[in-house]
Amino acid sequence: MARGIWVFAEQRNGELKKVVFELLSEGRKIADQLGQELWAILLGKEVKGLVEKLAPYGADKVLVADDEKLEKYSTGTYTKVISDLIREHQPFAFFLGNTAMGKDLAPRVAERVGTGLSSDCTGIELVDGNLHFVRPIYAGKAFAKTVCPEARPVMATIRPNVFPVSEPDAARQAEVVEVPVQVGMEDLKAIVKEVVKQASGRVELTEADIIVSGGRGMKGPENFKILEELADVLGAAVGASRAAVDAGWREHQYQVGQTGKTVSPSLYIACGISGAIQHLAGMSSSKVIVAINKDPEANIFKVADYGIVGDLFEIVPLLTEEFKKLLA
């Protein structure tokens, strides 16, 4: 019988993704309800030190595949190691973050082990011993509740920022199991030649707790400086509408919306954004929405929790000052 809840402990350059702690926290609850163990799966080179960061969040066991060939993420090698482990241990469920890596890896693993996958989930429920997932579809304009009734493991990628991280318990220990790495040339067809880092130092949009976003109302690329300043004070990410992206003011990876990123921060501040349906689709699951727009009829005010009708060039710097005072 398939047993155990597994979480993919995604790391890059020795740093664990925040979503890993969210998955462990949620995974722990499910494991307890089922009376099963929670395992973290950790791949990379010289990553054993990360185990002590995983244990306090509830991992009973950490399977570590530590090998030179796993230093850089590659679909082929990671898929091979993980699907071998799944075949050997037959877990009941396996969760990954819905990150660039998770989205690349999860469908490949699911296909290789012959199971289903619910992607980009924002809710998990245990019903009669099976897991039900909630997934936003049509960029959040609707939800689907899914189940994987027979195939095992039940796999899901989970949207970052949805599940709260539980209080770490420093006394918790996890058993460490080193896994032999057997990957060959056939697993290395696609190779990563280079990783280009953007030197922004800002939190990533999909992981950000606060997002300050600008639209066509920003008038030009240079004016995004005032949003950056506000974001700096709040530790926020900076997003953009498609109009701002298509005008070339921001790179497309910062676009929020139906054909951009879907985000669910605690606070989304929309500046000079009209609130077109495609934009709302990407951000309307934000907990609190603030709109700053000079047009009182703008659609964005229909979804905003708080709105200021006015000139963003005047309001945004004032807000930055107020937050500075508050957070000083």
Partner 1 sequence: MKIIVCLKQTFDTEAKIQLTDDGKISDEGVSLIINPYDEFAVEEALKIKENMGGEVVVVSIGKERAQEAIRQALAMGADRGILITDEALEGGDEYTTATVLAKVIGNMEYDLILCGNKAIDDQSSQVAVRLAEKLGLPQINVVTKLEVSDGKVVGHREIEGGSEIIEAPLPAVVTAQKGLNEPRYPSMKGIMQARKKELKKLSLQDIGLEPSAVGASGAKVKVLEYSLPAPRKAGKIIEGEPAEAARELVRLLREEAKVI
- CA 97, 103, 104, 110 torsion: positive or negative? positive
Is 256 annotated to bind a ligand? Reply is yes
Residue 240 token pair: 């953009």
Q: Which is nearer to partner 1, 66 or 207 (CB)?
A: 207
Q: Which is nearer to ligand FAD, 22 or 120 (CB)?
A: 120
Q: Does 321 bind partner 1 (CB under 8 A)?
A: yes
Smallest gap from residue 277 Cβ to partner 1 (A): 6
Q: Which is nearer to ligand FAD, 192 or 277 (CB)?
A: 277
- Reported as type and span, the H/E element at residue 97 is strand 93-97
Please answer whether residues 249 and 220 qualify as being in contact, where contact means their C-beta atoms are separated by less than 8 angstroms: yes
Q: Which does 215 bind (CB under 5 to 8 A by kind): partner 1, ligand FAD, none?
A: ligand FAD
Report the alpha-carbon distance of residue 279 to residue 299 in Å, rounded.
Answer: 11
Q: Coil, helix or strand for 183? A: coil
Please answer whether residues 241 and 273 qualify as being in contact, where contact means their C-beta atoms are separated by less than 8 angstroms: yes
Is 284 annotated to bind a ligand? Reply is no
Instruction: Provide φ and ψ at 289, rounded to 5°.
Output: -115, 130
Q: Does 126 bind partner 1 (CB under 8 A)?
A: no
Q: Which does 306 bind (CB under 5 to 8 A by kind): ligand FAD, partner 1, none?
A: partner 1
Smallest gap from residue 261 Cβ to ligand FAD (A): 8
Report the alpha-carbon distance of residue 4 to residue 94 in Å, rounded.
Answer: 9
Q: Does 168 bind partner 1 (CB under 8 A)?
A: no
Is 76 annotated to bind a ligand? Reply is no
Report the alpha-carbon distance of residue 256 to residue 122 in Å, rounded.
Answer: 18
Query: Nearest to residue 244, comparing CAs of 256, 232, 262, 235?
Result: 256
Smallest gap from residue 249 Cβ to ligand FAD (A): 10
Q: Does 295 bind partner 1 (CB under 8 A)?
A: no
How crowded is residue 128: how many other Cβ atoms within 10 Å of its Cβ?
Answer: 5
Smallest gap from residue 156 Cβ to ligand FAD (A): 24
Q: How many residues bind partner 1 (CB under 8 A)?
A: 95
Is 274 annotated to bind a ligand? Reply is yes
Is 255 annotated to bind a ligand? Reply is yes
State which of residues 46, 111, 169, 295 lies at the interface with partner 1 (CB under 8 A): 111
Question: What is the C-alpha end-to-end distance of the chain, expressed in Å?
Answer: 55
Q: Which is nearer to partner 1, 99 or 213 (CB)?
A: 99
Smallest gap from residue 177 Cβ to partner 1 (A): 27
**CA 253 to chain CA centroid, nearest Å:** 14
Beta strands 175-178 and 93-97: pairing type? unpaired
Q: Does 2 bind partner 1 (CB under 8 A)?
A: no
Report the alpha-carbon distance of residue 171 to residue 158 in Å, rounded.
Answer: 27
Is 5 annotated to bind a ligand? Reply is no
Q: Does 45 bind partner 1 (CB under 8 A)?
A: no
Is 272 annotated to bind a ligand? Reply is yes
Query: Nearest to residue 163, comparing CAs of 193, 127, 133, 196?
Result: 133
Smallest gap from residue 276 Cβ to partner 1 (A): 9
State which of residues 34, 89, 165, 310 lies at the interface with partner 1 (CB under 8 A): 310
- Give the annotated binding-site residues for FAD: 216, 241-242, 255-259, 272-279, 293
- Give the annotated binding-site residues: 216, 241-242, 255-259, 272-279, 293
